[in-house]
Structure formats: C-alpha cells, structure tokens
Amino acid sequence: MIIALLGNPNAGKTTLFNALTGSNQHVGNFPGVTVEKKEGQIKGAPDMRLVDLPGIYSLSPYTAEEVVTRDFLIGQHPSAVINIVDATNIERNLYLTLQLMELNMPVVVALNMMDEVRENGDSIDVKALSDGLGLRVVPIAAAKGEGVEAVLEQVQALVREQDRSSVLDTCTGEVHKAIHSISHIIEDHAQRAGLPKRYAAIKMVEGDEPTSQLLKLHEPEEDIIHHIVEDMEHNLGTDREAALADMRYAFIEELCQRCVHRTGQSKEQARSEKIDRVLTHKVWGIPIFLGIMVLVFTLTFGLIGKFLSDQFALLIDWATSLLDQALTALSINEAVHSLLIEGVCAGVGSVLSFLPTIVVLFFFLSILEDTGYMARVAFVMDKLLRKIGLSGRSFVPILVGFGCSVPAVMATRTLASERDRRMTILLIPFASCSAKLPIYAVLTAAFFPKYGGLVMSGLYVFGIVCGILYGLLLKGLFFHGKPVPFVMELPAYRFPSARSVLLHCWEKAKDFLVKAFTIIFVASIVIWVLQSFDTRLLMVDNGADSMLADLGRLLAPIFRPLGFGDWISATALVTGLTAKEAVVSTLAVLVSGGDTAALPAALAGMYSPLAGLSFIVFTLLYMPCVAAMAAIRREVGGLRAAGYMLAQTGVAWVMACLVYQIGSLFL
C-alpha cells in the first residue's frame, strides 16, 4: 500500500517522514521528471510504503512540484494521504487540506507543532476541527516524536475502513451555484476520467486546462460552462481564482473561529521578528551572512574539520601500510601490488581522508537550515539577485549547489519562468560544490597553511562574485526582461532537531562513501593503468613515459598561461570531470606516490603559491562533473548544455589567467 505524505513547506514533513520510516528510505525522481521524491518503508507496517511528496501550498499546477503532486494523487490513487499541518499557522495550511477534500482523498490530518501551541498558551479543539472537516485529525509534535504512532494507527484504520467522510460542500452563494451547475454538466465525463465530480467542477471554474483535456468536453458544454463562470465573476465582482480562494478561506476562517483559541502572538513569532530585525537588515543582512559563513569555514577547515581529517588520514595511512606489508609478505605479483597500493589505496584513500571535513561542514549547514536561517538568506539575497535579473527564489537552487550541482539543477524546476530557470542553471556551477572541498583543502594546506579558513571563505566569495559578474553579462546579452515576482514564507526560528541534523550528515557521508568506492575507485584504477603503461602496453618505470603523460602533454600548453602547464596538472583536471574529488586522487597517485600526508608538501615543491592559487581558481570555476552535465543536458538539451559547459570553462580559463598574469606583475 502506498501512503502519501503531503504538506506545506516548513510544516515538519521531513521530520515526520524520518520518524515514520527511520533510515529505511530511498531517494529518487518521479518518473519522467527531475523532481526529487523520497520513499520509505513505514516502521511497524511492512505492507505500507510512505512517499514524501514535494512541499507545496496548493494543488493548482503552476510549478513542477504542484504538477507532480497532483498527477501522483490522481494517477497513483494512494491508499491514504497524511496531510501534515502546521498548527501554529493553521489557517494557511488548511487551504491545501480543503483541496485534498475536494479530491475526495482518504486523508489523516497530522496537526504538527502542538507543543509550540501549548507553550504559547493557545489551544485547538481537535475534536471540533475533526468534525468540521469530516477528517481524522491527530495532534502531534513530530520533532519530539509525540503522536507519531497515533498517526500510523489512524492511517491503518482509515485504510481498513475506507472512510472518506470529509465535508465536501464548503461553498456558498454564487460560487456554490456555479460549482453545482457545472457538476451536473460534467458528471458523466468526470466518471469516465476517474475524477471526483466536485473536484472536476471546481477545476473547470478555475479554468484548469489539464482537467479540461481529461474530461474531453464537447464545444456546447464548454460554452455553457464559460457563461456560468462569467456570470459568477460578474455577480461577485472578482475573477474566478479569487472567488475560489475567498470561498476556501471563508470556510477556514469560520472553522478556526470555532476551533482555535489564541492568547496573542506566539512566542516563536515574536522571537523571530526580533531576530529578523538584525539578520534580515537591509544593510547588515548580507555582511552578517558572509560573517556566519566565514565562521563556519574557519571551524570546518581551520579547527575541527582539519584535526579530524588529519587523524582520519593517519588511520588510512596505517591501514595502507598494513596492507602493503601483507602483500609484500605474501610475495604478491609486483603489478598487482602496485595497483592495490599506488592505485586503489592512493586514489580512494586520498579522497576518503576528507570525509570528516565534509561531515563537519554539512553539520553546520544543516543547523543553519533547520533553524530557518537559510530561508532568510534567500530573502536577503533577493535585492542583490534582482540586479542580475533573477529573484531570491533562484538563490535556493544556487544554495543547494554548494552541496551538489545535480540536485541544484533539479531544484530549478521550482522556478515558474523558463528565463529564470535557464539563467539559474548557468549560475549554479559558480556555487562551489562539496566535491571540490578536498581540492581546496590540499592546495590551501600546500600554499597557504596559516590562512586556511580565510582562503576557503575567500574562494566561496570569489565564486559568488564571478557568478554575479557572469549574471550581469548574461542579462545584458541574452536574458532580457524582468524576473518573476518573489513571494516566500519565512518560518519561525526553531531549535534544530538533533536527529534531523545527524541524519542529514549521514546522508552526505553515505553519498561521499558511495562515490569514493565507485567513481573514484574506477578512476583510480584507470589512472594507475594509464600511468603504469606506455602506448605499447609495456610497464614503465618512470610515469613521464606513460600514456597518461602523453595525454597530459597534449593538453598542457592550454594551461601554460595559467602558470601550471605540466602534464600532471592537465591530467588531474581531466580526471576531475568524472568527479571533482578525482583531482586529488590523481595528484596523490602522480605526485606523492599515494601518500596523502605528503601531498601538500610535494605540491608546494612543484608550483609557486601564485600558480597554486591560479590552479585553485580554475578548479573552482571550470565545468562541473559528468553527473551535473547530464542533469543540465536533461533540463536544457544537449546542444545548449555543451555551450553552457564551454562558456563555463572559458570563464574559468580567463579568471585563472588574470589571477596569474596580474599577480606576476607584483610578485
């Protein structure tokens, strides 16, 4: 049985999903679209799978999330729907609930954050709310685990009894007359299309084209419906969408007057408003954000993360040494010995040593996200992004890009405008993804060991500045016009859930480990083979005589104006296209013989600090990995994606060249 989990953004959907499924979950995409979904087996209910639908405010198909959600509910016919509602903002959340009622779905309402309602001295009459909606309503506090089992019990009872006794008729007056008149006209068509009669009638009042196509109405019927809607608009003095919104909110308002008792503004909202006066200040908002990020990077790369990574690297070196001794004692074939130690262990181990750094960074970012601060960052960045022709909504995919470019590209599906979507995709590679962290960490340790946190922060800021300049160029040359209006909800600040933060860190660690033992593993073997054999497939004693060196020498002249025109650097940049971490594994194999600890010192002997900085700038800005390129290709097409990648690499070459050539004038 499929159970759908649905609710507004920031209502606690992810927390409830994790509570119901634990770690038994799978992340993928909805069939045919790049909108992410999570599925998981419900604990204690082996016959039930929970599908986490995208967070949306309504079922009107304006965004990809809304389209996916509506198509899933209508096409997949889930056995039940868990509609999570934020009890501290119940009026707005119930708008989606009413649309589910119009769909005549079997719904259990999970009334979340009831602990906050109680702390504020407010109360909600759950029974009266349940009677008013005709739905099962369960009060919960998902972050504390309260009421989660009761939700599951109600879902199981709902599925057994197939109870759909929701209050279907929530309209009055002219809207009531229009809906019921249209219901009689489309009744047979709705039955054939498998749609609830009332839902289909409401969609025809809205002028919903997908529903009209499903119903396959005849022209005379469409004309009659058109006249009914025109009469309703004329009598009400408003348009069709506003009329339906007024109808729903009138019902919600009347229901909440009976069921919800408030003593005043909630403590969370009052506290959030005070904090926002500082964090979203029109002058200090951006400097505060930059300051917070500098602190995060300093802790990650200068204090906590560096210490943990160094200890982990020692552990990996110890394990590699044990394996080396074992292979020597067993007199294993020399080529196999070299493959395992200098290829696999050197390549994979050099990347694995940065696992603690990745986990620490996402620990801090998860805290910022769970507190509600990241939503404020999008709000603060709106004014800046509008100067390059985008809205604050585009900052959300760009922000995701600091983790990984693939889901960031997918996240652009939430943007309503095709113009905004393509322009945002072009800017996402300027957000330095987490896969580049090992590169920065190694090169910073090699050339700027005393200023690790500052250099790391500077790199992220430099990437953002380059993105802004590139955006201004794109706006002036190709993307004329204005961005769509930006409206978003700022959730109240909340203490992050330890479970949610740790689960997020585990997911990132797992993704990193999977990549290390798949893509990096294969890349390390390929690099070892190319480094160990010449074009006649004879094993070489000197890596400079290998196939890898020949390939690097072909590309090296391109990078000579950038200060690192040698075959090793060129080769590392090419292998970085498989996964950015492969740059480090390649350098470790070719430069330090797989000794990760010795790699920074070896690099410092190869390059000048200025050439090292140029190399960092190029890796920061050049085209993303093949997985990200594939995601971009799916969104914009092959030819356009190829153009995007060439332009991105061109920008990287120009900026790195400027850094090296201008720096050479002063150093």
Binned average pLDDT, 10 residues per bin, the chain of 667 residues: 88 85 56 60 88 84 75 87 91 90 89 87 90 92 88 90 68 84 88 86 85 85 89 87 87 91 73 83 83 79 75 84 87 82 73 76 80 78 76 74 73 72 86 82 85 79 86 78 63 76 78 71 77 80 77 86 86 81 79 72 86 91 81 81 89 92 85
Q: Are 126 and 98 in contact (CB under 8 A)?
A: no
State both tokens at 123: 């109360």
- Prediction pTM value: 0.65
| Residue-level pLDDT at 80 | 92
| Residue-level pLDDT at 349 | 73
Q: Across the strands, what pairs with 28? A: 37
| Residue-level pLDDT at 31 | 40
**Domains annotated on the chain, with CATH:** 2-161 (3.40.50.300), 173-261 (1.10.287.1770), 285-666 (no CATH)
One-letter amino acid at 53 equals: L
CA angle (111 as vertex; 108, 114 as ends), nearest 5: 155
Give the integer Cα–Cα distance in Å for 15 and 145.
9
Give the integer Cα–Cα distance in Å for 305 and 454.
14
One-letter amino acid at 190 equals: A
Q: Name the nearest CA neighbour of 511 among 661, 407, 365.
A: 407
Give the integer Cα–Cα distance in Å for 259 and 406.
44
| Residue-level pLDDT at 30 | 38
Tally of CB atoms within 10 A around 402: 20
54: left (phi over 0), alpha (psi -120 to 50) or beta: beta
3-class state of residue 121 by DSSP: coil
Tally of CB atoms within 10 A around 267: 13
The label of the residue with tokens 């109870």 reads 163
Write the DSSP string, 105-134.
--EEEEEE-HHHHHHTT-EE-HHHHHHHHT
Write the DSSP string, 590-655.
HHSTT-TTTHHHHHHHHS-HHHHHHHHHHHHHS---HHHHHHHHHHH-HHHHHHHHHHHHHHHHHH
Give the integer Cα–Cα distance in Å for 62 and 54.
13
How far CA 570 is from CA of 67, 308, 342, 434, in Å, comes to 45, 30, 20, 22
| Residue-level pLDDT at 153 | 92
Residue 107, φ and ψ in degrees, nearest 5: -120, 140
State both tokens at 263: 């003593």
3-class state of residue 312 by DSSP: helix
| Residue-level pLDDT at 94 | 92
Q: Name the nearest CA neighbour of 211 among 59, 378, 329.
A: 59
State both tokens at 386: 């509008």
| Residue-level pLDDT at 34 | 42
Give the integer Cα–Cα distance in Å for 196 and 627.
41
